[in-house]
Chains A and B, each alone.
Chain A
Amino acid sequence: MSKELVQQQFGANAAAYLTSTVHAKGASLARLVKLVQPQGTWVALDVATGAGHTAAVFAPHVAKVVASDLTPEMLEQVKKLAAEKSLGNMETAIADAEALPFPDQSFDLVTCRIAPHHFPDIAKFLAEVRRVLKPGGTFALVDNVSPDSETTPGFTAAELSAAADGYNAFEKLRDPSHGRALPTAEWLQLMAKAGLKLVHTEHAPKGMDFQSWVKTMNVPADVVPRLAAMLDGASPALAAFLKPTNADGKRGFTLDELIAIARRA
């Protein structure tokens, strides 16, 4: 059900993701390459590649990148991007992040950027990541997280849990295919459980322009004021996390990206 929603949402808005500055030029993209230090012999997999920005940024550094996604229209954008940048070592496949069509121990690097908040079963996804990684292989994750004591200190667990629900509701209203952005602690727990040993984490705050955020997903006109009202009416914990601004009628807020690098034992 939610996977069909993902295909619908991204099928309809695929082109917007090729040009989305957050996805194409997000600071976390260059940072990710720096942290991962890809090698020329590596075979890499980018899961839920979207318009292929992460795959394309790694492609010049490795032997081959497979870019997989649930949505055919997104992979059309990937092909366009690969052609534009003359990247001959990018391959595409339609695949489900929770049932990857790749053999055990076949990749040196698996990346997944700003996507798992759409996945219904993150534990299953991580088990698949571990399976397809070679021993010692690297998993590089970037995803929007929901607030917890790490991103938003000074609040009670109950306040933070309500703020996390509020944040996910805000995302879901804008994009019905949004599943759940996990809080940082839950990510780290699930990765450890999957046998992925954490080697580095950091947070990258990401300033968002409300109008462009709404536009990328082609939000219906009647939903836009409801989203604005959610920002205005945010609880103190949610406001401390989203840091909403409203100057000269121009709204903004801040999202938090977790960057985590792990190795398969």
Chain B
Amino acid sequence: MNEGDENANDEAIESPVSAERIDRRLLELLVCPITKTTLEYDEANQELVSRKARLAFPIRRGVPHLLPGEARHLDDKRQS
């Protein structure tokens, strides 16, 4: 779960590749493609987590990949 109110501008400055980061305004528009429930943004792992579907969807190069086939099951170990 990500704690909401970081300053988006600060983030852009801190980030070495801000263009590669996901836009927070987009996050508000996204839900789980299967359950249509809210997603939690895991910034450290660059994943969008659907608790209900028990799936974590990857964010690659700032683009969320919301395909069930690309999601990691929450019970699986992360590979990194």
Give chain A's interface residues, CB within 8 Å of chain B: 43, 64, 66, 70, 72, 75, 91-96, 99-104, 106
13 other A-B residue contacts (CB within 8 Å) besides A91-B26, A99-B34:
A75-B63, A91-B25, A92-B63, A93-B26, A93-B30, A94-B63, A94-B65, A95-B33, A96-B68, A101-B32, A101-B33, A101-B66, A106-B29
Range, interface on chain B: 10 to 19
The 0/1 profile, CB within 8 Å of A marked 1, for residues 42-80 of chain B is 000000000000000000100111111010000000000
Q: Is the CB of A66 within 8 A of B63?
A: no
Min CB distance A75 to B, Å, is 6
Cβ-neighbour of B67 out of A64, A94, A102, A104 (below 8 A): A94
Q: Is the CB of B33 within 8 A of A96?
A: yes
- List 9 contacting pairs A-B, 8 Å CB cutoff, sorted by A: A72-B63, A91-B25, A93-B64, A94-B64, A94-B66, A95-B66, A102-B29, A102-B30, A103-B36
Nearest CB to that of A131 among chain B residues?
Answer: B36
Q: Does B11 contact A (CB under 8 A)?
A: no
Min CB distance B55 to A, Å, is 11
How many residue pairs link A and B with beta carbons under 8 A? The number is 51
The 0/1 profile, CB within 8 Å of A marked 1, for residues 20-38 of chain B is 0001011001111110100
The CA-CA distance from A104 to B36 in the complex, in Å, is: 8
Q: Is the CB of A70 within 8 A of B67?
A: yes
Nearest CB to that of A95 among chain B residues?
Answer: B66
B32 CB contacts on chain A under 8 angstroms: 101
Give chain B's interface residues, CB within 8 Å of chain A: 23, 25-26, 29-34, 36, 39, 60, 63-68, 70
Q: From known contacts A99-B34, A102-B30, A103-B36, infer whether A93 and B63 are also in contact, taking CB-CB under 8 Å.
A: yes
Nearest CB to that of A78 among chain B residues?
Answer: B63
Cβ-neighbour of A101 out of B23, B25, B30, B63 (below 8 A): B30
B63 CB contacts on chain A under 8 angstroms: 72, 75, 92-94
A72 CB contacts on chain B under 8 angstroms: 60, 63, 65
B64 CB contacts on chain A under 8 angstroms: 93-94, 101
- Which residue, of B60, B66, B70, has the highest number of chain A Cβ atoms within 10 A? B66
Nearest CB to that of B19 among chain A residues?
Answer: A79
Q: Is the CB of B29 within 8 A of A66?
A: yes
The CA-CA distance from A94 to B66 in the complex, in Å, is: 6
B67 CB contacts on chain A under 8 angstroms: 70, 94-96
The CA-CA distance from A95 to B48 in the complex, in Å, is: 13
A106 CB contacts on chain B under 8 angstroms: 29
Nearest CB to that of B23 among chain A residues?
Answer: A91
A103 CB contacts on chain B under 8 angstroms: 29, 31, 36
Nearest CB to that of A64 among chain B residues?
Answer: B25
The CA-CA distance from A64 to B39 in the complex, in Å, is: 20
Nearest CB to that of B27 among chain A residues?
Answer: A91
Q: Is the CB of B23 within 8 A of A100?
A: no
Q: Is the CB of B60 within 8 A of A66?
A: no
